[in-house]
């Protein structure tokens, strides 16, 4: 079992039982207690658990755990997408990043870059990059959504409209085979739109599971993007729509 799979299993146990014991987990997963302690420390750092004597107990809302679930699902694919995008970003440029587990993997892959100006409405991106060798790290003001650390609302939109960046990297909740890029929350979408209109090169990051999700709020269409990076070939209709408007589709395993 991989580390990510084990973390997901521990989250599931915390959801079901509210508390776990280190020794019990070590036996269950056939790893050392030291490995389990590191796993629990990672969950504590993410706000999903509180350490107890000999284990941990749950400390998170259902919505926070739901976001952690999304982080862990298709984690390797998202990491691959992040590495592909980071290779496109040169040192010393400016980049805007929105909320999302895949954009966070882009931030992680940018950790070794130098001289970046990073502009975001994602608290998690700040945590990822604050100790890296960046030139500037700017975060929007506004209302914080506790479930995922997104800063949303009119203040965040105004903040993005005050800046201009070389690159925008956005995620989404849903992809439609006809080329529509979609999400659930109007406030989140408004920030994503502001990021796109204030960037010179526009990149969407999304794994193929987004084609299985139905959302109703349009962020943009393919013709408003320069590049889409995913983890494998999308539906043929999506590829045709991208080709018709000149948007490049790149798979983390190779170009389509």
Q: Which residues pair with 52 in a beta bridge?
A: 55
Instruction: Determine the distance from the C-alpha atom of residue 54 to the mean position of all C-alpha atoms in its chain, rounded to a whole number.
Output: 32
Secondary structure (3-state) at 32: coil
User: Do residues 97 and 103 make contact, with C-beta atoms less than 8 angstroms apart?
Assistant: yes
Two structure tokens written together for 199: 């960037």
Statement: residue 107 has pLDDT above 90: yes
Segment 56-70, tens digit of pLDDT: 987 654 444 566 666
Segment 138-180, tens digit of pLDDT: 999 988 887 788 899 899 999 999 999 999 999 999 999 999 9
Closest CA to 89 of 227, 251, 248, 237: 227
Residue 14, pLDDT score: 86
Fold of 75-255: Rossmann fold (3.40.50)
Question: pTM of the prediction?
Answer: 0.75
117 — pLDDT class (breaks 50, 70, 90): very high
Q: Which residues pair with 228 in a beta bridge?
A: 204, 249
Task: Indicate the domain borders of the chain.
Answer: 3-70, 75-255
Statement: residue 46 has pLDDT above 90: no
Residue 70, pLDDT score: 67
Strand 117-120 relative to strand 136-139: parallel, antiparallel, unpaired? parallel
- CA torsion, points 90, 140, 101, 242, in degrees to nearest 10? -60
* Selected residue with higher pLDDT from 52 and 158: 158
User: Do residues 167 and 201 make contact, with C-beta atoms less than 8 angstroms apart?
Assistant: yes
CATH of domain 3-70: 1.10.10.10
Rounded-to-integer distance, Cα 250 and Cα 45, Å: 33
Statement: residue 208 has pLDDT above 60: yes
CB atoms within 10 A of CB 222: 22
Rounded-to-integer distance, Cα 195 and Cα 47, Å: 28
Segment 213-247, tens digit of pLDDT: 888 899 999 999 999 999 989 999 999 999 999 99
Residue 170, pLDDT score: 98
Statement: residue 256 has pLDDT above 60: no
């Amino acid at each position: 079992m991989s580390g990510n799979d084990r973390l997901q299993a521990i989250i599931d146990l915390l959801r079901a039982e509210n508390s776990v014991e280190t020794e019990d987990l070590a036996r269950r997963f056939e790893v050392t207690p030291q490995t389990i302690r590191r796993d629990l420390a990672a969950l504590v750092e993410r706000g999903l658990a509180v350490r107890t004597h000999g284990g941990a107990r749950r400390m998170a809302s259902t919505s926070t755990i739901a976001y952690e679930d999304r982080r862990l699902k298709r984690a390797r694919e998202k990491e691959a997408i992040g590495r592909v995008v980071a290779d496109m970003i040169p040192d010393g440029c400016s980049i805007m990043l929105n909320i999302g587990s895949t954009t966070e993997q882009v931030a992680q892959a940018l950790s070794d870059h130098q001289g970046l100006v990073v502009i975001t409405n994602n608290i998690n991106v700040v945590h990822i990059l604050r100790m890296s060798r960046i030139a500037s790290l700017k975060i929007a003001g506004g209302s914080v959504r506790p479930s995922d650390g997104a800063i949303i609302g009119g203040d965040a939109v105004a903040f993005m409209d005050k800046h201009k960046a070389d690159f925008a990297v956005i995620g989404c909740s849903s992809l439609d085979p006809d080329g529509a890029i979609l999400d659930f929350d109007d406030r989140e979408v408004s920030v994503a739109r502001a990021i796109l209109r204030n960037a010179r090169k526009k990149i969407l990051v999304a794994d193929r599971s987004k084609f299985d999700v139905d959302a109703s709020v349009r962020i943009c269409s393919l013709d408003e993007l320069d590049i889409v990076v995913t983890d494998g070939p999308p539906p043929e209709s999506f590829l045709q729509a991208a080709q018709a408007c000149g948007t490049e589709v790149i798979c983390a395993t190779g170009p389509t």
